[in-house]
Structure 1
């Protein structure tokens, strides 16, 4: 089984690393900068808050999809949400009719965009499924990718992903296969509402969550999404040791009590930051339209007010333009 990681950045390289540790045939399609870094450092180095330190080398590295680029049986797309609909022709060229394409985007909307884009250019269907990365990955120097929070990759259950799971289990790794990805996507969005706040505060997640002011904002943003889900009857998967509905209450607790409970809920590396923080630092467009803005849009559809998520979106739009944002303004 030939596997490609299309758009290999932080999470894509970490995924590639785990698949390579599982002795699978993995190629990367990435930016020239990533390819050069991997080549110069003789491979990808994976580290984690649990002490992992492993170096692996992909089977091949590509920076362009060309006529002679091979076809793959399984393609993981790890580009940002707003980039995915632009690569439909490349996905067709990289795949065959029995290929599985796994969209690894956070938030809502990218799956429908890709389905529509592929339908517009080809009558030959491809199996499109979803997957997520429920943990934080920080890109460091020397082609090093650091897992900063707990969790394991989740993919929709198909024959190709079953093969991946078996290989990972044989290597002492693990991933989860799901029959229904919708509750997982909705549940993950609840946690991803913090991505923007982490970018705005410009501090590691653990430090950010120690500040009651930003916890209050996150709590209010989560309450809005939970209200939308209740009105729209959307099921939410649980990613922490407490039910999703309890998270806003826990975030509202006094600092000492929150810190005590947080340690039991989710392991977080002291240096972990969100991918949106990385995008802002690199002056790249963020995924805000598929995260907090998606909450705002669904809120309008189901007549649920979402002023906090709207304010967070406005803050990120300012940061994208290089305008500083004070967290107090959002409150």
Structure 2
């Protein structure tokens, strides 16, 4: 299957980043941004900018019908996922491939409850240092998307089609035959960096240097390694070092999404990060004191908005 038509729902950091990139590579009209009428009016009035350039997006409402997308990208926040699933139904056909760029390890299963898992590719976005302020996004590193089938070791025709499309679009990617481990690695990283930078009210530079913030981040990540053993995933110190190398390559002035939420006075995805860790810790009988401390501190920050 050749991917020609793409729909994106969600114009947060990743939606803008990849959407803007695709507008430069795809014929006009083949990329659509799904949004409700109120959001569309705001986007068209204020504009959406990426690294100082105005994004030329084609917007469609959920009610508008047309030819199904070959590729549908979910780029919303986790708390907007259920509404997004309802909004994209007119863009889904029998052969539509779906990917989720959401944080956490739950979104694919939730999307699959509505559309089935057979057309979902498991994916992880990593290595980007995008910062969104209002209607403007800036980034130095586009990062990459890692993807594969849920079944370990499988490289399907769907995966090959996706790789061919990314080659054509010049989007960095990696095919991973063990996406379960990749998901847990990304969870480990988010649990560490998102929460630590948010609590320390800092940026990537703070956790890239030796000191208390970096120690806190690594301690939170090691709690996920302990949980992964119980879950049969078996993250190791080598995985921790790999993800630390990813973080150390980011722009020091950049900030993860949770830190941006805290600065803007928005509720964060803390329940998706340390909330998941605490839930798994209770399930497996594994102590998670660092994540508990981070959870309580972030909840306190949010209570003071």
TM-score (normalised: structure 2): 0.81
* Alignment RMSD (CA, Å): 3.2
Instruction: List runs of 5+ in structure 2 lacking aligned partners.
Output: 150-155
Match of 2:95 in 1: 98
How far apart are the structure 2 equivalents of 1:281 and 1:265?
Answer: 21
Match of 1:206 in 2: 205
- Shift of residue 290 of structure 1? 1.6
1:145 pairs with 2:148: no
Distance 1:192 1:318, change over 3 A: same
Match of 2:176 among 175, 178, 197: 178
Match of 2:283 among 281, 301, 310: 301
- Shift of residue 95 of structure 1? 0.9
Distance 1:39 1:156, change over 3 A: farther
Partner SS for 1:280: helix
- Shift of residue 192 of structure 1? 0.8
Match of 1:27 among 17, 24, 32: 32
How far apart are the structure 1 equivalents of 2:132 and 2:45?
Answer: 16
Instruction: List runs of 5+ in structure 1 lacking aligned partners.
Output: 48-53, 251-261, 324-331
Partner SS for 2:63: coil
Partner SS for 2:287: coil
How far apart are the structure 1 equivalents of 2:107 and 2:50?
Answer: 29
- Contact 2:121–2:159 under 8 Å retained in 1: no
How far apart are the structure 1 equivalents of 2:256 and 2:94?
Answer: 36
Distance 1:283 1:71, change over 3 A: farther
Match of 1:189 among 187, 190, 197: 187
Match of 1:77 in 2: 74
Match of 2:238 in 1: 243
- Shift of residue 150 of structure 1? 6.8
- Shift of residue 311 of structure 1? 1.4
- Contact 2:8–2:15 under 8 Å retained in 1: yes
TM-score (normalised: structure 1): 0.75
After superposing the two structures, state which structure 1 stretch, 213-222 or 160-169, moved more: 160-169
- Equivalences, count: 291
Match of 1:14 among 9, 14, 17: 17
How far apart are the structure 2 equivalents of 1:4 and 1:39?
Answer: 21
- Shift of residue 299 of structure 1? 1.5
Match of 2:7 in 1: 4
Match of 1:232 in 2: 231
